[in-house]
Amino acid sequence: MSATPQFHTEWVHLQYEETAAFTETYGFSGNQGAVNLEAIRFRPADGRPSDTLMVFMHPSSTLQLLPVPRAMAAAGAHVLCAGSRYQRNDTALILEKVLLDLGAYIRHAKTVWGYRHVVLVGWSGGGSLAVSYQSQAEQPTITHTPAGDPVNVKGAGLIPADAVIYQAAHLSRAHLLAEVIDPSVKDELNPDDRDVDLDIYDPRNPNQPPYSEAFIQRYRAAQMARMRRITAWAKQSLAELKARNTGELERGFIVHRTLADPRFLDPALDPNDRRPRWCYLGNPETVNTGPVGLARFTTLRSWLSQWSLDDSCGNGLEAVKTIRAPLLVIENTADDAVPTTHPRMLFEAATTADKTFSQIRGATHYYAGQPELLAEATRLIQSWLVARGLLEG
């Protein structure tokens, strides 16, 4: 006999008009003059109404199967797991357009479904998205992408959320990549051409854990240098394509070796309760060259929009300085994806008068096999929202 379902599941489809210079997404999601979005809404099985919708969104992933939003739904909240037009494929992702997608969901929640309050829950990669969206909804400024393409975020009438929750989240996709990209790569077209002294996975490297402060400084500088070399090449390539004035407008490329954070091998670096020589995707040495590495497959425009630390609009560390909505920052102290420094940095940069910092001791990124810690995080979020009149007690 099957158990009684804890919540009702509803497939959601939104569509809004957009004219693009060229097709970025395969299939029907972003062409034919319209953007098509898909989401899943959870509501209590007993039909209990709510004035508040909790919106979970990640730039490129879908969240309806993950434990965090499902736990909130099981606790009686109304939850929307919203997918962007780039869900499950971030190769050509433009963050400015993801802001517009998120805005479409929030407008629908308020004007069609009739929710009085919307709470943005930025889990993992959704954290910087939530903060960046809120910043642009409160004080819109963006009129162009970093590649110079027009994108009317400023005039889109984005509706601000009533609160933002930043849970087990990093500062931005660009910040994360800058701290995990492998600086040993000397030739972007030949990943076997590497500097052994910077290859933390090469046993011939004389620098081994525990790493010296001098090595870490050199390593971090080399990571930024590689990031900026790719950015400079992307900008030059775009300029050359534009100068040709032909039908060739974009170009895809591969970024090799993008998961080599020394923190994975040396637990004494920014220590927390994480498992040594492991990460949220498995063995970091294997992930470093595998197909799911950050920014592995990208385009010129997408690199500038989501991966370039100097250009991306998804910079949570900067965006949080302008938001005025209540902010809850949650750090999982055994997080094996998000650097332990990121949540605290974002919290300290926040200028809103209502901000709260909390830790879930021993929690990993996904709360895998940790139902009691997931329940603790859920209760924390509930009580924080109840205290602000955004959920019923």
Q: HEC string of 252-268?
A: EEECCCCCCCHHHHCCC
Do 126 and 169 meet the contact criterion of CB atoms below 8 Å apart?
yes
For helices 371-387 and 67-74, angle between their N-to-C axes, nearest 10 degrees: 60
Size of the chain, expressed as the number of residues it contains = 393
Look at residue 139 and give its three-state secondary structure.
Answer: coil
Residues of the chain with pLDDT under 70: 1-5, 27-31
Domain ranges of the chain: 7-172+313-387, 180-307
Q: How far apart are CA 169 and CA 156, in angstroms?
A: 26
Instruction: Produce one character per residue of 142-172: b if its CB has 16 or more CB atoms within 10 Å, e if not.
Output: beebbbebebebeebebbbbbbbbbbbbbbb
pLDDT for position 1: 40
For helices 213-244 and 173-180, angle between their N-to-C axes, nearest 10 degrees: 120
- Was domain 7-172+313-387 assigned CATH 3.40.50.1820? yes
Q: For 58, phi and psi rounded to 5 degrees?
A: -120, 145
Residues 66-75: pLDDT tens digits? 999 999 999 9
Sequence-ordered alpha helix ranges (H) in 82-168? 95-111, 126-138
pLDDT for position 197: 98
Task: Collect all residues with Cβ–Cβ distance below 8 Å to 205 and sequence separation of at least 6.
Answer: 196, 197, 198, 199
pLDDT for position 176: 96
pLDDT for position 27: 63
Q: Which residue has the tokens 């900067």?
A: 318
pLDDT for position 68: 92
pTM of the model: 0.95
Angle subtended at Cα 170 by Cα 341 and Cα 26, rounded to the nearest 5 degrees: 160
Structure tokens at 307: 């991966």
- The Cβ-side half-sphere exposure at 126, using a 13 Å CA radius, reads 27
- Under DSSP, the state recorded for 18 is -
